[in-house]
Amino acid sequence: MGIIIDTYYGVMCKRQGGCRMLISYSFQNFRSFKGKSQMDMRAGTQRTYDENLIRGAGMRILPSAVIYGANASGKSNIIMSLALM
């Protein structure tokens, strides 16, 4: 079975020609990840720091994300999977 990558881009600005932001990203069967893994930038229901969110296309989007974990836990593999898009 090969690598499976699903992405969802949203148009999040009104600049001429638009701009795109990666909103949801999932992959499976890549290096140390066999099962499906997903990174989603849509905000949850918590309203703390609501003024910092990006709003567009009827969504509330987080402006940044952090990937952290123990040594040899696969952080670099997540970044490598993004290069295959």
Q: Report pLDDT for 4.
A: 58
Q: What is the mean pLDDT of residues 1-28?
A: 67
Higher pLDDT, 55 or 76: 76
Which residue, 69, 46, 61, is CA-closest to 13?
61
Q: What's the length of the chain?
A: 85
Element (H, E) at 77: helix 75-83
Residue 11 pairs with which residues in a beta bridge? 20
Question: 0.75 exceeded by the pTM?
Answer: no
For the sheet with 4-11, list strands across it: 4-11, 20-28, 37-40
Residue at token pair 């090969």: 2
Give the gyration radius of the chain's Cα atoms. Answer: 15
Lowest mean pLDDT among 9-13, 19-23, 81-85: 9-13
Q: What is the mean pLDDT of residues 44-52?
A: 88
